[in-house]
Amino acid sequence: MLDQASATTADLWARAERAIPGGVNSATRRIGRPLVIERARGAHVWDADGRRFIDYHAAFGATLLGHADPVVGEAVARTLVDQDLVGMGVSRLEIECAELVNAMIPSADKTILTMSGTESTFQAIRLARGVTGRDLIVKFQGCFHGWHDAVSRNVISTPEKAYGMDPTSSGILAPNLEATLIAEFNDLASVQELFARHKDRIAAVILEPIPHNIGALLPDQAFLEGLRALTEEEGALLIFDEVITGFRHAPGGYQEICGVMPDLTTYGKAMGNGFPVAGMSGRADLMDQFSSAGGSVLLAGTFNGGPASTAAAIATLTHLRTTDFHQRVFALGDRLRAGLAAITEDLGIEACVTGYGSVVICYFMPMRPKGYRDLLEHHDDKAYAEFHRRMYDHDILMLPMSLKRNHITGAHTAEDVDQTIDAARVVLTEMAHE
Ligand code: PMP
């Protein structure tokens, strides 16, 4: 059931439901009440009734600089005066963008551009299988890498389905699910076990270095180093899916912070500040296995490296590389975390307020989770959903799905954060006294 909406929203929402399956173009955009967005600027979005929200959803983190960033918009507009899409050769923009990524991401020798994070992880996995000649991949319970079949097993599973064959979608063939093995994050032994059981068959281990699709499990350094050593020993590739962490946590992604170098890296989301651009980088000897360089792994895509998106990426990455952006959003992240932690502590709510830099999450559980098992056993999903639902009533837009994270952008201010903390105090006080 969806909550009541005003006449304007109700009318538009009814049209949406008639024209589009479920009224939305990505299933998680359906949030339990009609929502029609009319405008987005900076840290705010406005719905069809003119109601303004402070936005921590930030397009799942894609609008890292804030909505409608003027510098990015101008770069796109300028580019569109000269070119749209040609589809032969390469543009100066693509060269400049790849050079920029290669300079920023420590493990990147060469880079390809795609349209989405899903395409990037698809290409990384296919490349890993192509170069190793092996069939299996290892992913971690709770990590999300897009919607293609190789990574659709065991994303955010219910307790009954976790660690099993939870396919996320119908229409995925059993052999595809069986070719994806599931391990536990921060538990190197669970990965060692899979390598021992499937000798010489594992092509790659893929992970979000911080699994932000279940909030923010912070990785043990020894775990990441262990994965690097193990994959090397076993002849498998290590893929960091930095679709969320990439560029957001540091110009060089989380690998710059942890110092562990993967063979391949995927990114997307924040790369173009809301424009559809994503990418994949890696060692030159691996990247040269793409068919564009004469290798056997097909590289194709009509819109790959399209001028508007590529110009958006160059403008975004240049900003991230040349300003104090990370310092500013990290400080605001600390401010929000400290504010929320003080409230839950005052009220005696069992909560763990955590995150990393600009990413903030309040888990409703008594301790810091290390892996997915901790979340299954201890997290109060109902309290989380209720908190986020009520924050919406206070004009704060947060990701409504259980275990997702909240994002601070370059456009948020200390006032926005303080207003959010004030709203949280009201909401959590209500919840604590019911
Ligand atoms: N990898 C990660 C870590 C993601 O969070 C996502 C999207 N949530 C993807 C891949 C897929 O990206 P896209 O939605 O752009 O296809």
Q: What does the pLDDT look like over 69-120, one tens digit per residue?
A: 999 999 999 999 999 999 999 999 999 999 999 999 999 999 999 999 999 9
Same domain (yes/no): 259, 369 = no
Same domain (yes/no): 55, 111 = no
pLDDT score at 3: 65
Q: Whose alpha carbon is nearest atom 12 of ligand 1?
A: 117
Same domain (yes/no): 60, 97 = no
In ligand 1, the atom with minimum distance to the C-alpha of 115 is: 15
Residue 4 Cα to ligand 1 middle (Å): 31
pLDDT score at 1: 47
- Within-domain flag for 19: no
Strand partners for 68: none
- Within-domain flag for 220: yes
- Domain final residue pick, 277, 294, 322: 322
What is the 3-class SS of 14-47, one letter each residue?
A: HHHHHHCHHHCCCHHHCCCCCCCEEEEEECEEEE
The percentage of residues in the chain with a pLDDT greater than 90, rounded to a whole number, is 95
pLDDT score at 424: 98
Q: Specify the CATH number for the domain of residue 107.
A: 3.40.640.10
What is the 3-class SS of 196-218, one letter each residue?
A: HHCCCCEEEEEECCCCHHHCCCC
The CA distances from residue 84 to 60, 100, 282, 316, in Å, are 27, 21, 28, 19
Residue 146 Cα to ligand 1 middle (Å): 5
Domain range spanning residue 40?
A: 36-68+324-432
Confirm whether the ipTM is greater than 0.95.
yes
Residue 7 Cα to ligand 1 middle (Å): 34
Q: Specify the CATH number for the domain of residue 373.
A: 3.90.1150.10
- State yes or no: pLDDT of 431 exceeds 80: yes
Q: Which residue has the tokens 């281990």?
A: 205
Same domain (yes/no): 221, 82 = yes
- State yes or no: pLDDT of 345 exceeds 90: yes
Same domain (yes/no): 273, 379 = no
Q: Whose alpha carbon is nearest atom 13 of ligand 1?
A: 117
- Within-domain flag for 100: yes
Task: Answer for the pair 345, 426: CB distance below 8 angstroms, yes or no.
Answer: no
- State yes or no: pLDDT of 139 exceeds 60: yes
- Within-domain flag for 45: yes
Joined tokens for residue 2? 């969806």
pLDDT score at 7: 84
- Within-domain flag for 270: yes
- State yes or no: pLDDT of 49 exceeds 50: yes
How far is 352 from 363, CA to CA, in rounded Å?
5
Same domain (yes/no): 317, 329 = no
Joined tokens for residue 185? 């994050």
Binning pLDDT at 50, 70 and 90, where does residue 2 land?
A: low
Same domain (yes/no): 318, 337 = no
In ligand 1, the atom with minimum distance to the C-alpha of 117 is: 12
C-alpha torsion 358→254→166→377, nearest 10: -60
Binning pLDDT at 50, 70 and 90, where does residue 404 land?
A: confident
Same domain (yes/no): 303, 236 = yes
In ligand 1, the atom with minimum distance to the C-alpha of 278 is: 15
- Within-domain flag for 15: no
Residue 117 Cα to ligand 1 middle (Å): 5
Residue 429 Cα to ligand 1 middle (Å): 34
- Strand, coil or helix: 111: strand
Residue 425 Cα to ligand 1 middle (Å): 32
Binning pLDDT at 50, 70 and 90, where does residue 403 land?
A: confident
Same domain (yes/no): 162, 270 = yes
Ligand 1 site residues (CB inside 6 A) read: 60, 116-118, 121, 144-146, 208, 213, 241, 243-244, 268, 278
Residue 394 Cα to ligand 1 middle (Å): 28
Q: Which of 118, 207, 264 has most ligand 1 atoms within 8 Å of its beta carbon, as the pocket-test mutant? A: 118
How far is 335 from 340, CA to CA, in rounded Å?
9
Q: Whose alpha carbon is nearest atom 2 of ligand 1?
A: 145
Same domain (yes/no): 422, 400 = yes
- State yes or no: pLDDT of 387 exceeds 70: yes
Q: What is the pLDDT of residues 55-82, one digit of tens each?
A: 999 999 999 999 999 999 999 999 999 9
- Domain final residue pick, 297, 322, 347: 322
Same domain (yes/no): 166, 63 = no
In ligand 1, the atom with minimum distance to the C-alpha of 242 is: 3
Q: Which of 168, 210, 240, 243 has most ligand 1 atoms within 8 Å of its beta carbon, as the pocket-test mutant? A: 243
In ligand 1, the atom with minimum distance to the C-alpha of 118 is: 16
- Within-domain flag for 14: no
pLDDT score at 4: 67
Same domain (yes/no): 238, 255 = yes
* Mean pLDDT value of segment 372-399: 95
Residue 243 Cα to ligand 1 middle (Å): 6
Q: Which of 63, 242, 244 has most ligand 1 atoms within 8 Å of its beta carbon, as the pocket-test mutant? A: 244
- Domain final residue pick, 273, 307, 322: 322
Residue 242 Cα to ligand 1 middle (Å): 9
Residue 272 Cα to ligand 1 middle (Å): 14
Residue 10 Cα to ligand 1 middle (Å): 30
Total domains present in the chain: 2
Q: What is the pLDDT of residues 190-246, one digit of tens each?
A: 999 999 999 999 999 999 999 999 999 999 999 999 999 999 999 999 999 999 999
How far is 347 from 380, CA to CA, in rounded Å?
16
- Within-domain flag for 109: yes
